[in-house]
Amino acid sequence: MGKVPPEVLKDVVFKHLGADNSDVVLGPALGVDGAIVKVGDKVLISSMDPITGAMQRIGFLAVNINANDVATFGVRPTFFSSCLLLPEDSNEKVVEEICRQIGLAARNLGIAVIGGHSEVTPELQRPIIVGCAMAVTAPGKYVTAAGSKPGDKLILTKGTGLEGTAVLATEKREALRTKLDDDLLDSAASFYDKISVVKEAVLAYNYGGVSAMHDPTEGGVANGIHELADAAGLGVKIYKDKIYVHKETVEICRFFKIDPLQLISSGALLISADPRFADGIKRELESHLIRAEIIGEFLKDPLDRFFVSKDGTMKPLVRPACDHLWFALKQ
């Protein structure tokens, strides 16, 4: 379970991209979570993601996760469509609740829901939503995940494992209550309110000096860092003690014996920035009450990807084979 490995994307998926079209400014590429196409004198940015591991707030997540991908280009998303797949035992109340969540989340972000598709799907165990968010901007008024340069500083907002913490606190609450108190679990479930990165992405881009942005989803912050490095063909050095982990995430990950750095982390934002601007971006985000830490920097050699501990010890930066959310949900 989880994302298709990078080598399969390169060797298989990217070889089957249909007809050539000069209006495609940015097509499929490693570490890039959206496409850019020319539409008249503007460009359209779009991104697509499924929601598969959560049930109780699936509509909310579908809008926010897809909006986040578009926002990492530095552009505020404005349109959303979705494909809703439902188990055979679903009823009208299920459809109503999912659509209510989609409508509310979209309205809160200023996004119009422009259509989609829904169907009952045989043998499906839980609802799945595949969403697509879009935005229109002027040519060149964006960044892509491939823009990092050697020496750029890497900023992380909010902390790691946010979405995974919220999902587990909600979906596995009864199991967690055997060891953790209700106040901590309530706080963990409230991490859903931290899921959007639209505000910080637009703030950072407008401040200036941003080379690339990426929201770490499946595989967590560890995988998100690899994806940013993959997109630019660079290495990266990460100061592990600079990665913030909320107490709620620590406790839940300890309970399930999983790694918070490999836990789905929607709500965090990775920002690659010119070193002359990095401290200013951090201050700008903090002035809007958004936690931000400079956690590392990009290196020229793509083979150099490692963690540095406080004592200077270096270890390879793990590339997750599977998001640790799935390990926890199976327990």
Domain of 186, CATH number, reads: 3.90.650.10
My answer on whether 122 and 180 are in the same domain is no
Which residues, including other chains, have CB under 8 Å from residue 247's CB and lie 6 or more apart? 184
The tally of domains found in the chain comes to 2
The C-alpha atoms of residue 155 and residue 220 are separated, in whole angstroms, by: 15
pLDDT number for residue 204: 98
Q: What is the pLDDT of residue 33?
A: 82
Question: Is there a single domain that holds both residue 214 and residue 114?
Answer: no
Q: Are residues 124 and 15 in the same domain?
A: yes
Please report whether residue 307 resides in a domain: yes
**Residues of the domain holding 54:** 6-137
Last residue in a domain, options 107, 137, 167 = 137
Looking at 91, 111, 137, the residue that finishes a domain is 137
Identify whether residues 159 and 287 lie together within a single domain.
yes
CA dihedral 162, 166, 172, 177 (to 10 degrees): 100
Q: Which one, of 310, 222, 315, 232, lies nearest residue 270 by Cα?
A: 222
Q: Are residues 112 and 60 in the same domain?
A: yes
In the chain, which stretches have pLDDT less than 70? 1-2, 53-54
Contact 169/194 with Cβ under 8 angstroms? no
Q: Is residue 325 part of a domain?
A: yes
Q: Are residues 126 and 163 in the same domain?
A: no
Q: How many C-beta neighbours within 10 Å does residue 122 have? A: 6
| pTM, rounded to two decimals | 0.92
Do 35 and 71 belong to one domain?
Answer: yes
Residue 11: CB atoms within 10 Å: 10
Q: pLDDT tens for residues 58-113?
A: 999 999 999 999 999 999 999 999 999 999 998 999 999 999 999 999 999 999 99
Residue 32, domain member (yes or no): yes
Is 143 contained in some domain?
no
97 and 221, same domain (yes or no): no
Extract the runs of DSSP E, i.e. beta strands, from 182-257. Answer: 210-214, 235-239
Give the ranges where the chain is alpha helix by DSSP (H). Answer: 6-11, 58-71, 92-108, 162-171, 173-176, 182-189, 198-207, 220-232, 247-256, 278-287, 324-329
Using an 8 Å Cβ cutoff, are 90 and 120 in contact? yes
1 within domain boundaries: no
> pLDDT value at position 32?
82
Looking at the fold, whether 181 and 54 belong to one and the same domain comes out as no
Task: State which of 104, 137, 170 marks the end of a domain.
Answer: 137
Q: Are residues 117 and 173 in the same domain?
A: no
Q: Is 150 helix (H, G, I), strand (E, B) or coil?
A: coil
327's CB contacts (< 8 A; 6+ apart) are: 256, 258
Tell me if 85 is assigned to some domain: yes
Specify whether 294 is located in the same domain as 162.
Answer: yes
Answer whether residue 144 is part of any domain: no
**Is 194 in contact with 267 (CB distance < 8 Å)?**
yes
Output the pLDDT for position 38: 97
Say if residue 185 is in the same domain as residue 101.
no
